[in-house]
Each structure stands twice: as structure tokens, then as C-alpha cells.
Structure 1
Amino acid sequence: MNAERQSWKEVRDRIRDQILDRTYAPGDKLPRDADIAEQFGCARTTVQRAMQDLSDTGLIERKRKGGTHVRTDPVSRATLDIPITRLEVEKSGATYGYQLIDRRKLPMPRDIAAKLEQVEPIPMLRVQALHLADHNPHIFEDRWVSLETAPEILDVDLTRYSANEWLVRNKPYTRFDLRIYAISADEKIAKMLATEPGSALLVIDRTTWIGTATITSVRSFTVPGYQLLASN
């Protein structure tokens, strides 16, 4: 595999597969990061990032001077790889499209402030956008972005590059809240998603932080029949 193309997530998954298939059993010591990097043909920093994620999810334990071991009592922790909608659509075999509906700096409403654990409302960037699959509505997202945590987004051309993709690639999070629920489409959402009012829609409501600072809060309304796949 080309070292320049191999991501830390791919390296993480390969190491995790070796643990799950008992190449490395509970309690076993893993090779040094440098040896894994040579084995996989990637940078050592890529291995270190992969190992950190495996440690964060409770599968391995790393100790200074003690090396890295597979945990004998793995800890199950919630993790979330936020999907890039463009890649999600393209992976399904459909042609991706994107429309910026609205972009403006606004004081956040009090319900958003409460969700983001803000005592007082502060100005944020509100971005509303429609993701398309084969020219048909796929996901409508209503997003609030912190201008304290992500001020660079003001310089991003959001008519061409979605806030979803930019944030995933540029603003890693340390904490998240995720809510998934169903609603009946009102007239506005039904029109946006080209469906009938009252249609059952899946809503994905997600907020991310870095430390105690909010990065973004987004409510994604999906078309009828949308399927969410989670795996580990």
C-alpha cells in the first residue's frame, strides 16, 4: 500500500483486525511503532495516531518504557467516526451534489446555547446546506459552527466545499453528543427533501467539542428510506 495514501484509520483497522483474529491475544505485547510502520509501509506518526485511537477505545494499553500490550480486559467505549457525506454518497455508487442554502453569522438561539452548554448566547456561523445523490435530495443539514474554535471557516468557500467535509478534515473533536430520532416532516423540511409533509424522517443530531470548547452542532434531516450503518 502506498505510504502517502495510507491513513491512520486504515492502519488502526489493520492492527485491530490482528487483535480480533488473535494474531495478538489479550496480554500480548505489540511490536514497536517503528517496526509496525516498516511492516505496513507507512510513517511512524501514522502508527502513533492509530495506536492512540486504539488506546482511547480501550483495546490496547500503552506505557512509557513498558511498550504496548493488548488489554486483558478490553474497555468498551463509545466512538464515532463522523462520515463525510460526499464520500458516503460516492461509496453508494451515486453522483454527489451539494447546494449551499444559507450562510450567515448570527447570535445563537437559546435552545442551541443550552445544547452547547453556553451560559450566554454568542455569535456563531449558521450554515444550511443540501447534499444530493444523483441530483436528488439526500440530507439537509442545519449547522451552527463556533467562530471561537473554528474561525478559519469564514475563509472557506462554502458554495463549493461543505462545512461537513471541512470540519471533519480540519477540526478533530475530543467529545461528542449524538442523538438519533424520527420526526414527521413539516412543510419546510418536506419541500427541502422533495417529499410529502408528514413523511417519517430520520434525524441525526450531533454536537462536538474540543475540550470544553464547542466546535459545531448540526441537525441532519435525511430522506425517507435513509439507512445509517454503524460497525466496529
Structure 2
Amino acid sequence: MTQVSETRAARRSWQDIRDEIHSRVLSRRYKPGDKLPRDEDIAEELGCARSTVQRAMQDLNDAGIVERKRKSGTQVRPDPVTRATLDIPITRVEVEARGARYGYQMLARGHEMTPPPVASAFGLSAPEEMLHIEALHLADDAPFILEDRWVSLGTCPEIVDVDLSVQSANEWLVMHKPYDLMDLRFYAVNANGEMAARLNVSEGAALLVIERSTWIGKRPITTVRSVTTPGYQLLTGS
């Protein structure tokens, strides 16, 4: 190894390699389910030691970005969940993990200009046309989460061709659109007439609301307002 390459390798930390691989996942150079090159091949490409790649891959594995298996190598998780203080769950998986039968109803779908609260959530200087979806997630045929979602057509043009009456936007986005920035808010509301009717609760019932917006770089992906039924619990872990 030449002195130049030795110096280059010494300067590439495992965090640098981790961030490079993560960036390739976010940009979909490595897509969900793809098998990654061997550690030694990545080490040669990026000019670092194999042990540096192994340390980076272990961190990505712990974060839920990739999955490493002895003898079969490393692949991007088909259902990536980025480790954070709070993860974005797939609601279907959430319901099934509780031992309930999952159901889903798309209530409305259309292309609309973003109203001021949505434009503000994304930091837009002017309204944009986005996909607006209203949906109801069910557990054992009972309302579970009422979802009001806006999806950017700039970062997610493929969603136009997805049958969202069959697969929820929540699940499609988690599976296909990893993010690198998220804003999250929790607050309580009292159910108004429409919420009460759709969630089958008493008008005035206290409900937990989760608002979440995600970006890839500075470009918005989606913002969603999820109103949950009484007794909903959000579990976290790392």
C-alpha cells in the first residue's frame, strides 16, 4: 500500500463509511432488499480497512438500516426502520403485534394545493400541489388511527401509481422512502363531531394526536396528522 493510500485510509473513520453507506440507501443506490457488496470490496472502493467497514456496518445493522447474516452477507432491510428516539412504525405491523387483525380504509385521495398549515410544516414559501390522502386504520374491525396525510409529488412521484386502497401510504412510504430528517409533535385534542364519528368514540373524548413530517435533504417527503383512539400506546426502543 502506498503512503498516500495509507494516509487516506487513516483519515476515513467508521462514521465516515457508515454515513456514505447510509447516504447510498437514502438515495436508493442501494434499494430495500438489495444485497450489498462484500466488506472487503467496500473497503477497497472507499480506501479504508475492512475492520472499519465492519464497524460501520454493525452500526447500520443496529440502527435497522441493513441486516447482516453470517455466510449470507449484508442486505438493505426490506422494511427499513431507522433507529431514533421514536421510529416510524408500519401501522399494519403495529396492529398485528398486538394480536389484532389489521384492516384499512382509504377515505379520500386527490391532488390538492397545500393549505397554509401544511406549507408551514414543510417550510414552503408558496403552496405546492401534493397528494392528499385520508385513511382509517383498523384493529379487529374497530377504528385504530385516523390519518390525514400529504405527500410530495416531487420526491415521491411513484406513489401516483400505487393503489392506496389496497396498501396504505404509511406502509408504502416506510418501505420505499427512507428519510434523513424528521419533525415530530404530540398533543391531545377533544374529539369533534367528525373525529368522533370516524373513530367511533364519544364527542369530546380525549385523543392523542401525532404529527410527523419527513424530508430527504431539504426536500419534503410527507407530513401526516394521525389521530389515535383512546388507549393507544406508542412503544419506543433502541
TM-score (norm 1): 0.70
The alignment partner of 2:108 has SS state of strand
Q: Which amino acid aligns with 1:209?
A: W
Question: Which residue in 1 is equivalent to 2:70?
Answer: 40
C-alpha RMSD over aligned residues: 2.7
Determine the C-alpha separation between the residues in 2 that align with 1:105 and 1:163: 14
Determine the C-alpha separation between the residues in 1 that align with 2:99 and 2:68: 34
Residue 151 of structure 1 pairs with residue 157 of structure 2: yes
Q: Which amino acid aligns with 1:139?
A: I
Of structures 1 and 2, the one with the larger relative CO (CA 8 A, separation 6+) is 2
Uncovered stretches (5+) of structure 1, i.e. residues with no partner: 1-6, 9-28, 58-77
Determine the C-alpha separation between the residues in 1 that align with 2:228 and 2:71: 39
Q: Which amino acid aligns with 1:100?
A: M
Aligned residues: 179
Return the offset for 1:45: 4.6
Return the offset for 1:46: 4.7
Uncovered stretches (5+) of structure 2, i.e. residues with no partner: 1-31, 34-49, 59-66
Change (3 A) 1:92 1:38: closer
Aligned 1:23-102 pairs, distance under 5 A: 33=54, 40-46=70-76, 78-102=84-108
Change (3 A) 1:194 1:113: same
Determine the C-alpha separation between the residues in 2 that align with 1:212 and 1:31: 30
Query: 2:147 aligned to 138, 141, 149, which one?
Result: 141
Return the offset for 1:188: 0.6
Q: Which amino acid aligns with 1:33?
A: Q
Change (3 A) 1:46 1:105: closer
Q: Which amino acid aligns with 1:206?
A: R
- Percent identical across equivalent pairs? 49
Aligned 1:189-204 pairs, distance under 5 A: 189-204=195-210
Question: Which residue in 1 is equivalent to 2:230?
Answer: 224
The runs of at least 4 aligned residues of structure 1 exceeding 2 Å deviation read: 29-47, 78-81
Choose 82-91 or 31-40, whichever is displaced more: 31-40
